């Protein structure tokens, strides 16, 4: 047996209205797309989705972490290991990256279910995230959105896995080479008819026959499509009821989030599922993956969980298309004559990894007070080497003081220098992200988020920032 | 510990200071030579008379050789000191120990900084953790105290900003009487208030410039000072209090005062025997790297009750004509801030004021002067205080 124990989502704070892209390039598109902040990438978004799924769950019980993406920050070096560190998972966790296909998300889901079923793991967290680029002016640029999804797979859960099907189909419909920044595709009608529609209809047909069931038996269908038009076309072809059966694929609110898209729609389906619902998940990319689930009981939402619905609502608009271009570094822009970015050291990042990635501080076992960053001699009672590690990442806080630093180098000035007083009577000092500079106030509620601080020395320097509670 | 161990044991008999500013055509060596030779001439000494030297520089020096090479100061002990923006003053302090203990009779102290060769505005980045605490600048870190200080002391942000602007206006005004100052022009309150924001609430005129410059002092044992100069100035005492750099991490620190500066002031006042600094100190040079620094230092140095600095600024307490004139030469804001030279520049101004040689900015009959150079930022301060006095 395997089951979905918990789900999580992450949709970045910023949205870009498609009319802003139209303003730059023409065309006609509606709605908006989710855009990762300049300090986010697939790894940081996956961390957020993972945190969302793990509220109320003992992280020591997680023994597998599968990360799915087509936009891994590193070509050589695992993303899952960074995510596992940021999520403060145990050292013995089995980490894997699933990459290179739009189906990577459901590939990871299938592998997680197989591992649990086979007994090699008790709990596997699947996190999928993508931050894909369409060339400026392309249809892809309009359609793609950034986002992440997470599913915790275990032996028992409120949503039982029932059956699955897969087939592989080699086709050059859309692709990106190692050396390319933007996704390419073949002529549109070929991509839609010979790629997407042909594969989905064949796979669904075969699977329904195998299982001796019909599409009408499913209350909720989470169906991947490249875009809204493709989604409508396949619904028409398969005679799916778009009014009652289909989970909203969020083209107008989020956009196509690549390898995480099918899972994000599944998470949305789970959030609105009722007892005894039957769920169908169909993903596409170099073939098809199909899954069915049975909702044993309506999944309980931890009160800290934001989920797809929470994240869709909590948003702010990027003021213009140019800012998006700047965030994604699609144009060289003047950054002021300042000193080159600070230096980094892989040695320090390694030595301080429990502080930097896991955001662990110390609690003095002599006087009981807590502080960050870890220091061998207690700030308060000066006891030496008497401490235990404590985790800060999930603590909430209040802004004790701040400034808006216009001189600091940033793709999105001003840098909000923040002193945050956290739950448990300790202090965090750092930058504030996902914020509106005009709405910074003393004592505003904040939480913490894992972000890219910079790219010094040719690698990504990750750390935590604070942000207004969404 | 004997707090008054060096009181009245060391005299300043000569000082020199280059023009502060964008010294495009002067090297570190050029500036050191000019400042030192001016001090030599003032004291009536030569290189051969110097028994030991201390050089203060944050980032423009490599060992004491940076001073020894241009001066051809051969085979003498030269110590290079670095203590952030307190560097020059700490060089003086350490030199005083060498003289006060009787090891040396005549020593040279120099401070220098060359910031304009770098090609960048602002200060260099120093290596700490690659990610923790990264991404901020000096004004950003100082502005954090403004935000909370105003709130705690019931000051409306616009009232606070106006007081900060008044400090900038005052220091620019004082700078017009200082031919060696980086800036020698008045600014208006409106200009200061409406300037572009650097780190809210600090605007352009709330921030000192990056400056090239050097300053130097010749000090000797007080016993022999008279043979050089009638109106020598006596070193009364120092106060130094390195913060353990914890304010950003210590939730008990409330960003409404400067505990390190208060501690340094207590030390200095005890060393000199000052009970009421507001009344007993005639003139002060404080560390106005940012206007909010000067404002909070008024509180910390006991020039007014904690939280009262804004009212005192409005009352004109610290102007040239006020009860306790501060930054009479224009301060860091107008005179400029070449890090390693700044502490000695402050002492130079006291040296001029206490001897009645400060020209149009001269304050009336001063007897005791305080200079305070402060490294770091709130939560992580390293203030150094020097108190100088007229000879008896």
Give tens-digit pLDDT for B330-360: 999 999 999 999 999 999 999 999 999 999 9
| pLDDT reported for residue A27 | 85
Q: How far apart are CA A283 and CA A108, in angstroms?
A: 12
A 362-381 residues inside an 8 A Cβ radius of B: 371-373, 379-380
| pLDDT reported for residue B1 | 87
B125 in contact with chain A, both atoms CB, cutoff 8 A: yes
Asked if B188 and B169 touch (Cβ cutoff 8 Å), the reply is yes
Q: How far apart are CA A253 and CA B261, in angstroms?
A: 54
Q: Where are the alpha helices (DSSP H) in A191-260?
A: 198-211, 228-238
Asked if A396 and A445 touch (Cβ cutoff 8 Å), the reply is yes
Q: How far apart are CA A205 and CA B84, in angstroms?
A: 74
A121 Cβ partners below 8 Å, 6+ apart? A63, A64, A94, A112, A115
Please tell me the distance in Å from B151's CA to the nearest CA on chain A.
9
Q: Is A296 helix (H, G, I), strand (E, B) or coil?
A: coil
Give the one of A371, A400, A410 whose C-beta lies nearest to B135's C-beta.
Answer: A410
Using a CB-CB cut-off of 8 Å, the residues of chain B touching A417 are 136, 140-141, 143-144, 199
| pLDDT reported for residue A404 | 96
β-partners of residue A388 are A363
Give the C-alpha distances (Å, rounded to integers) separating A201 from A165, A196, A204, A367, A382: 13, 8, 5, 66, 69
Please tell me the distance in Å from A427's CA to the nearest CA on chain B.
5
- Mean pLDDT (whole number) for B317-323: 98
A311 in contact with chain B, both atoms CB, cutoff 8 A: no
Please tell me the distance in Å from B323's CA to the nearest CA on chain A.
33
Please tell me the distance in Å from A15's CA to the nearest CA on chain B.
25
Q: How far apart are CA A362 and CA A392, in angstroms?
A: 10
Which candidate, B134, B182, B112, places its Cα nearest to that of A39? B134
B264 Cβ partners below 8 Å, 6+ apart? B239, B240, B241, B372, B383, B384, B385
Q: Which residues of B102-121 are buried (b: 16+ CB within 10 A; e: fewer)?
A: eebebbbbbbbbbbbeeebe
Total CB pairs under 8 A between chain A and B: 141
In degrees rounded to 5, what are phi and psi of residue A415? Answer: -75, 125
| pLDDT reported for residue A338 | 73
* Average predicted confidence (pLDDT) for chain B: 96
B190 Cβ partners below 8 Å, 6+ apart? none
**DSSP string of A451-463, one letter each residue:** EEEE-GGGS-EEE
Neighbour tally for A208: CB within 10 Å: 19
| pLDDT reported for residue B122 | 72
Q: Is B256 helix (H, G, I), strand (E, B) or coil?
A: coil
The residue of chain B nearest to residue A357, with distances taken between CA atoms, is B131
The residue of chain B nearest to residue A343, with distances taken between CA atoms, is B130
Token pair of B194 as six digits: 């409406």
User: Helices B291-300 and B138-152 sit at what angle, rounded to 10 degrees?
Assistant: 50
Q: Looking at A206-286, which runs of residues are DSSP E strands?
A: 220-223, 278-284
Which candidate, A100, A98, A122, places its Cα nearest to that of A110? A98
* Antiparallel, parallel or unpaired: β A426-432 and A415-422: antiparallel
| pLDDT reported for residue B123 | 73
A162 Cβ partners below 8 Å, 6+ apart? A278, A291, A292, A293, A294
Q: How far apart are CA B221 and CA B52, in angstroms?
A: 13
A212 Cβ partners below 8 Å, 6+ apart? none
Yes or no, beta carbons of B135 and A402 under 8 Å apart: no
Q: How far apart are CA B12 and CA B232, in angstroms?
A: 6
User: Helices B138-152 and B157-175 sit at what angle, rounded to 10 degrees?
Assistant: 130
Residues comprising chain B, all counted: 392
Asked if A259 and A130 touch (Cβ cutoff 8 Å), the reply is yes
**pLDDT one-digit tens code per residue, A19-71:** 999 999 998 788 999 999 999 999 999 999 999 999 999 999 999 999 999 99
Using a CB-CB cut-off of 8 Å, the residues of chain A touching B132 are 352, 355-356, 373, 429-430, 463
Which candidate, B356, B365, B343, places its Cα nearest to that of B90? B343
Neighbour tally for A345: CB within 10 Å: 15
Which candidate, A344, A382, A375, places its Cα nearest to that of A360? A375
Neighbour tally for A386: CB within 10 Å: 15
Q: How far apart are CA A20 and CA A24, in angstroms?
A: 7
Yes or no, beta carbons of B135 and A379 under 8 Å apart: no
Q: How far apart are CA A242 and CA A221, in angstroms?
A: 9
- Alpha-carbon Rg for chain B, nearest whole angstrom, is 19
Which candidate, A110, A127, A104, places its Cα nearest to that of A161? A110
Yes or no, beta carbons of B130 and A349 under 8 Å apart: yes
B118 in contact with chain A, both atoms CB, cutoff 8 A: yes
Q: A180 burial class (0-12, 13-18, 19+ CB within 10 angstroms)?
A: exposed
Q: What's this model's pTM, rounded to 2 decimal places?
A: 0.95
A337 in contact with chain B, both atoms CB, cutoff 8 A: yes
Please tell me the distance in Å from B136's CA to the nearest CA on chain A.
5
Give the C-alpha distances (Å, rounded to integers) separating B383 from A292, B85, B264, B288: 68, 9, 7, 12
Dihedral over Cα of A112, A9, A350, A411: its sign: positive
A387 in contact with chain B, both atoms CB, cutoff 8 A: no
Q: Looking at A296-353, which runs of residues are DSSP E strands?
A: 316-317
Give the C-alpha distances (Å, rounded to integers) separating A166 from A65, A284, A380: 22, 10, 59
B157 in contact with chain A, both atoms CB, cutoff 8 A: no
Q: How far apart are CA B297 and CA B252, in angstroms?
A: 20
A339 in contact with chain B, both atoms CB, cutoff 8 A: yes
Which candidate, A72, A408, A110, A68, places its Cα nearest to that of A281? A110
Q: Where in chain A is the domain with CATH 3.40.47.10?
A: 3-327
Residue B207 designated active-site: no
**pLDDT one-digit tens code per residue, A213-264:** 999 999 999 999 999 999 999 999 999 999 999 999 999 999 999 999 999 9
- Give me the interface pTM, i.e. the ipTM: 0.94
What is the homologous superfamily of the domain A3-327 according to CATH? Thiolase/Chalcone synthase (3.40.47.10)
Residue identified by tokens 């001073």 is: B67
B 48-67 residues inside an 8 A Cβ radius of A: none
pLDDT at B315 over 70: yes
Q: Which is higher by pLDDT, B214 or B133?
A: B214
**Strand-by-strand arrangement of the A14-17 sheet:** A32-35, A14-17, A316-317
Token pair of B308 as six digits: 């009262």
**pLDDT one-digit tens code per residue, B101-114:** 999 999 999 999 99
Residue B216: band (very low, low, confident or very high) from pLDDT cuts 50, 70, 90: very high
Q: How far apart are CA A199 and CA A285, in angstroms?
A: 9
Give the one of B118, B135, B139 whose C-beta lies nearest to A431's C-beta.
Answer: B135
Asked if A459 and A439 touch (Cβ cutoff 8 Å), the reply is no
Q: Is B17 helix (H, G, I), strand (E, B) or coil?
A: strand
Q: How far apart are CA A263 and CA A11, in angstroms?
A: 13
| pLDDT reported for residue B124 | 66
* Antiparallel, parallel or unpaired: β B368-377 and B380-390: antiparallel
- Alpha-carbon Rg for chain A, nearest whole angstrom, is 22
Q: Which of B337, B347, B377, B390 is catalytic?
A: B337
Angle (CA) A222-A227-A233 rounded to 5° is 75
Q: How far apart are CA B278 and CA B298, in angstroms?
A: 10
Q: Sketch out chain B's domains with CATH numbers.
A: 10-118+212-230 (3.40.47.10), 138-209+235-390 (3.40.47.10)
pLDDT at B323 over 70: yes
Asked if A281 and A293 touch (Cβ cutoff 8 Å), the reply is yes
**pLDDT one-digit tens code per residue, B80-131:** 999 999 999 999 999 999 999 999 999 999 999 999 998 877 776 666 788 9
Using a CB-CB cut-off of 8 Å, the residues of chain B touching A403 are 139-144, 146-147, 199-200, 202
Give the one of B124, B130, B255 whose C-beta lies nearest to A345's C-beta.
Answer: B130
Residue B337 designated active-site: yes
Distance of CA B59 to the CA centre of its chain: 17
Low-confidence stretches of chain A (pLDDT < 50) are none
Neighbour tally for A213: CB within 10 Å: 16
Give the one of B144, B198, B249 whose C-beta lies nearest to A406's C-beta.
Answer: B198
Using a CB-CB cut-off of 8 Å, the residues of chain A touching B115 are none
């Amino acid at each position: 047996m395997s089951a979905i124990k918990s789900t999580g989502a992450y949709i970045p704070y910023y949205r870009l209205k498609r009319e802003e892209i139209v303003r730059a390039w023409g065309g006609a598109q509606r709605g908006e797309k989710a855009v990762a902040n300049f300090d986010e990438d697939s790894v940081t978004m996956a961390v957020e989705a993972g945190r969302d799924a793990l509220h109320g769950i003992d992280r020591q019980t997680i023994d597998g972490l599968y990360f799915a993406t087509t936009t891994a920050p590193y070509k050589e070096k695992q993303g899952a290991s960074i995510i596992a560190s940021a999520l403060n998972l145990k050292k013995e966790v089995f980490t894997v990256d699933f990459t290179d296909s739009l189906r990577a998300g459901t590939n990871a889901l299938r592998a997680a279910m197989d591992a649990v079923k086979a007994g090699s793991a008790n709990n596997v967290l699947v996190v999928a995230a993508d931050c894909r680029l369409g060339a400026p002016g392309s249809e892809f640029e309009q359609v793609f959105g950034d986002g992440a999804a997470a599913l915790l797979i275990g032996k028992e859960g409120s949503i039982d896995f029932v059956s699955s099907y897969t087939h592989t189909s080699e086709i050059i419909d859309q692709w990106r080479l190692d050396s390319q920044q933007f996704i390419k595709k073949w002529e549109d009608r070929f991509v839609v008819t010979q790629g997407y529609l042909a594969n989905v209809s064949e796979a669904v047909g075969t699977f329904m026959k195998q299982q001796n069931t019909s599409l009408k038996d499913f209350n909720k269908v989470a169906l991947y499509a490249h875009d809204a038009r493709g989604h409508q076309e396949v619904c028409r072809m398969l005679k799916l009821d778009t009014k009652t059966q289909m989970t909203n694929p969020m083209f107008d609110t989020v956009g196509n989030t690549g390898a995480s898209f099918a899972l994000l729609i599944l998470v949305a389906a789970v959030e609105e599922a009722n007892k005894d619902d039957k769920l169908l998940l169909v993903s596409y990319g170099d073939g098809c993956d199909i899954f069915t689930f049975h909702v044993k009981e309506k999944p309980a939402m931890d009160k800290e969980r934001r989920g797809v619905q929470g994240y869709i609502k909590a948003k702010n608009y990027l003021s213009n298309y140019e800012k998006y271009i700047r965030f994604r570094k699609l144009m060289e822009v003047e950054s002021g004559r300042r000193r080159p970015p600070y230096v980094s050291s892989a040695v320090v990042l390694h030595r301080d990894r429990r502080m930097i990635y896991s955001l662990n501080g110390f609690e003095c076992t002599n006087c009981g007070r807590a502080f960050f960053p870890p220091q061998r001699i207690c700030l308060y009672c000066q006891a030496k080497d008497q401490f235990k590690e404590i985790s800060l990442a999930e603590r909430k806080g209040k802004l004790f003081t701040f400034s808006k630093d216009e001189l600091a180098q940033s793709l999105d000035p001003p840098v909000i220098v923040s002193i945050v007083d956290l739950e448990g009577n300790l202090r965090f000092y750092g930058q504030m992200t996902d914020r509106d500079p005009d709405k910074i106030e003393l004592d505003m509620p904040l939480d913490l988020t894992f972000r890219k601080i910079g790219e010094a020395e040719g690698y990504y320097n990750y750390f935590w920032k604070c942000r207004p509670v969404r | 510990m004997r707090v008054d161990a060096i009181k009245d044991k060391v005299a300043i008999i000569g000082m020199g200071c280059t023009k502060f500013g964008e010294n495009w055509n002067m090297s570190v060596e050029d500036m050191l030579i000019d400042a030192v030779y001016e001090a030599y001439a003032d004291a009536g000494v030569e290189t051969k008379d110097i028994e030991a030297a201390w050089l203060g520089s944050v980032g423009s020096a490599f060992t004491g050789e940076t001073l020894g090479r241009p001066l051809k100061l051969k085979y003498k002990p030269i110590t290079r000191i670095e203590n952030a923006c307190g560097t020059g003053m700490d060089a003086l302090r350490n030199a005083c120990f060498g003289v006060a203990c009787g090891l040396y009779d005549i020593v040279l102290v120099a401070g220098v900084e060359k910031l304009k060769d770098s090609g960048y505005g602002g200060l260099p980045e120093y290596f700490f953790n690659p990610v923790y605490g990264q991404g901020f600048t000096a004004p950003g870190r100082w502005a954090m105290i403004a935000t909370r200080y105003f709130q705690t002391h019931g000051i409306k942000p616009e009232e606070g900003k106006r007081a900060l602007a008044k400090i900038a206006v005052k220091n620019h005004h004082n700078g017009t009487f200082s031919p060696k100052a980086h800036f020698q022009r008045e600014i208006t309150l409106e200009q200061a208030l409406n300037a572009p924001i650097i780190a809210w609430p600090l605007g352009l005129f709330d921030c000192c410039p990056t400056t090239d410059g050097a300053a130097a002092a010749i000090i000797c044992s007080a016993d022999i000072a008279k043979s050089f100069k009638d109106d020598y100035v006596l070193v009364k005492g120092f106060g130094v209090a390195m913060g353990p750099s914890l304010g950003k991490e210590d939730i008990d620190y409330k960003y409404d005062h400067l505990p390190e500066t208060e501690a340094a002031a207590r030390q200095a006042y005890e060393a000199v025997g000052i009970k009421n600094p507001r009344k007993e100190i005639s003139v002060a040079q404080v560390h106005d790297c940012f206007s909010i620094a000067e404002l909070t230092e008024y509180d910390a140095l006991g020039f007014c009750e904690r939280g009262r600095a804004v009212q005192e600024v409005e009352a004109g307490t610290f102007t040239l004509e006020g009860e306790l004139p501060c930054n009479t030469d224009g301060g860091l804001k107008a005179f400029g801030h070449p890090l390693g030279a700044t502490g000695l520049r402050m002492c130079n101004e006291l040296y001029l004021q206490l001897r009645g040689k400060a020209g149009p900015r001269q304050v009336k009959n001063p007897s005791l002067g305080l200079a305070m150079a402060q490294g770091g930022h709130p939560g992580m301060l390293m203030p150094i205080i020097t108190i100088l006095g007229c000879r008896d």
